[in-house]
Structure 1
Amino acid sequence: MQVKHAITLIIIAEAIVAFGTLIVKQLGVNIPVYQLILYRQLFASLLVLPLILREIDGFKLSPFIKIHLFRGLLIGLGNASFLIAIMHLSLITVTAAMYISPILLVILSHLFLNEKPDLKRYISVVIGFIGILLITKPMQSNLYILLAFFGALVAALNSICLKKLSNKEHPMVTLFWSNLVALFMLVPAVIWEGAQIKTEIISVGFCLALLYIAMTYLFISALRFVDASKLAPAEYTGLVFSALLGYWFFNDEIDSYSLLGICVIFLSLMPISQIKLLKRKAKV
């Protein structure tokens, strides 16, 4: 029951991520990337602060500030890479490249968290990855795809940090301190960018902050129930949401390979025991 609940939380979080990606994509290619990230982190910190002051033992320095420093750096690097990639690639392409992250998460969980995923877990992840290949097909490598791959690595490392904190700190405390650290790290980048302040970017930053808080809270809550590696296949569902949104808003093609890939991704979410049960029923 806990695994099913955690997977449900991750699927909802992935839908939120896909919607946020859609908002960014609609801004076009000439947006101040670091300024947008700065506004998102600023509003996220301000929105979380009242909850911390009122309900979570008041405002005090986190004992895990070193992890927050590292995660703040990851937030800046990962989001910048992802935003630049999404501005120049289709939704389904950049999301597919990003979803190398679950593969890396299984490996990193074994290395840094001493998690030992069983054979079934590895099979589920591999099946999901095959679904991604079916959707993306052979892609021509370019700088923006490489940025998306880098963002995937950063996302996997970020998940490891969240797992280390998930049972030690309230999710909102984790969210606040990581955002605050990222905020200070982004200021020099915004000054270097030198872009003019725009009301539209501020508004989008606020919307992304709301989505970011919801997504991070759901993700941390899911990690409280099960190991990070067990959630890896569920993260692939974000690709399905991106494919549908890309088709609806940007006329991105969903061909037979994409449909097959989506089916394969959902297959990866089914426990092997359940697949065997379906086969037995089919024989009967």
Structure 2
Amino acid sequence: MPKISVGIAMILLIVGNMIAVFSDALIKTLSDDVAVFQFVFFRQLTAVLILLPFCLFSQQQGFFHGLKWHVLRGHIWLCGAIFMVIALNAMPLATANAIFYAAPLLMLPLAMMLFQEKLTRHSILVAVFGFIGVLIVVKPTQINWAAIAALIVALTMAANNVLIRKIPKHLNVFQVLLLTNVVGMPAAFALAWWEGQPWDWSAMLTATGSTTFILIYAGICVLVYRAVDASKIASAEYSGLLGAVAVGILWFDEVPDLSLVIGTAFIIFPLMWLAKVEAKKKRLLKQFDAELS
């Protein structure tokens, strides 16, 4: 596994979140009467088709080690995908994404409980400011079923990212993503069959595009959360909100209001401050090591 610094990990997460916005935007183009379970099954099917060629030429030894963790993450991923379609079809893109970015705050207690990670006062402070920003964007008095669906998405994102640490280290990114989607396909197909809607294969093209973007994001998450403590980099997840605002304006004519602007400031500026603090800490550590040697 390549070594990744905190700074590089945060940059990768920022890029990943910007890319993930386009996956959300494609989902938002679906009609209101789309068969949700069927579309989610299409996403998982296209993910397997995209990933399979990369995995055929990878080392297969111990491919199914830690299968229980893949099964758990796969069904959490499936749950998140379902509620994401529901939330994005009912809310403005930037508003839905603002709620999704409650995930870094949820990751902090999860990482502490599962891996005994120590929370620094800086990471806690940034997470709290970020969550305040989310509340400003959402406006608690306007919380409805769509907002609840978005909060469930945030919880599934947090759980999936934290549980990456349970995945065997010898599996590469493509193998992890393939297993995550494969193990959830039976449940996805069963839900699509139970839904009882005629199969609409025209949605496959949208599913393919959405899957491609989200796989890039998920791959980055596997890479960085394996290498760096979640509490140190989780705040970088907030950065995609800027991309969601821009895409919402350009693609869906969703002009942000003042609360979105203020909330975004609460999310982004503390993130920039945290990056500066981490960089200073790294410089001091290097200086200290040099003095010892």
Normalising by structure 2, we get a TM-score of 0.87
Moved more, 249-258 or 99-108: 249-258
Aligned to 2:264: 262
Asked if the contact 1:13–1:215 (Cα under 8 Å) also holds between the matched residues in 2, the reply is yes
The 1:39/1:208 distance shift into structure 2, 3 A limit, reads same
What amino acid is the match of 1:2?
Answer: S
Asked if the contact 2:162–2:225 (Cα under 8 Å) also holds between the matched residues in 1, the reply is no
Note if 1:45 corresponds to 2:86. Answer: no
The equivalences for 1:222-237 within 5 A come to: 222-237=224-239
Aligned to 2:288: none
Normalising by structure 1, we get a TM-score of 0.90
Aligned residues: 276
Report the Cα offset of residue 273 of structure 1.
8.6
What amino acid is the match of 2:97?
Answer: T
Aligned to 1:193: 195
Note if 1:19 corresponds to 2:13. Answer: no
The equivalences for 1:78-227 within 5 A come to: 78-165=80-167, 167-227=169-229
Structure 1 unaligned spans of 5+ = 278-284
What amino acid is the match of 1:196?
Answer: P
Q: For 2:142, what is the secondary structure of its paired residue?
A: coil
The 1:244/1:53 distance shift into structure 2, 3 A limit, reads same
Report the Cα offset of residue 221 of structure 1.
1.2
Asked if the contact 1:53–1:59 (Cα under 8 Å) also holds between the matched residues in 2, the reply is no
What amino acid is the match of 1:266?
Answer: I
Give aligned-pair identity as a percent.
27
Asked if the contact 2:43–2:211 (Cα under 8 Å) also holds between the matched residues in 1, the reply is yes
Report the Cα offset of residue 272 of structure 1.
5.2
Structure 2 unaligned spans of 5+ = 280-293
What amino acid is the match of 1:255?
Answer: D
Report the Cα offset of residue 174 of structure 1.
0.8
Aligned to 2:291: none
Distance in 2 between residues matched to 1:44 and 1:272, nearest whole Å:
34
Report the Cα offset of residue 186 of structure 1.
0.7
What amino acid is the match of 2:191?
Answer: A
Note if 1:246 corresponds to 2:251. Answer: no
What amino acid is the match of 1:114?
Answer: Q
Report the Cα offset of residue 151 of structure 1.
1.7
Distance in 2 between residues matched to 1:111 and 1:66, nearest whole Å:
19
Distance in 2 between residues matched to 1:91 and 1:139, nearest whole Å:
19
The 1:177/1:38 distance shift into structure 2, 3 A limit, reads same
How far does the alpha carbon of each residue in 1:260-280 deviate from its partner, in whole angstroms, 9 at most, with x for none?
3323322122345947x9xxx
Moved more, 138-147 or 164-173: 164-173
Distance in 2 between residues matched to 1:197 and 1:59, nearest whole Å:
37
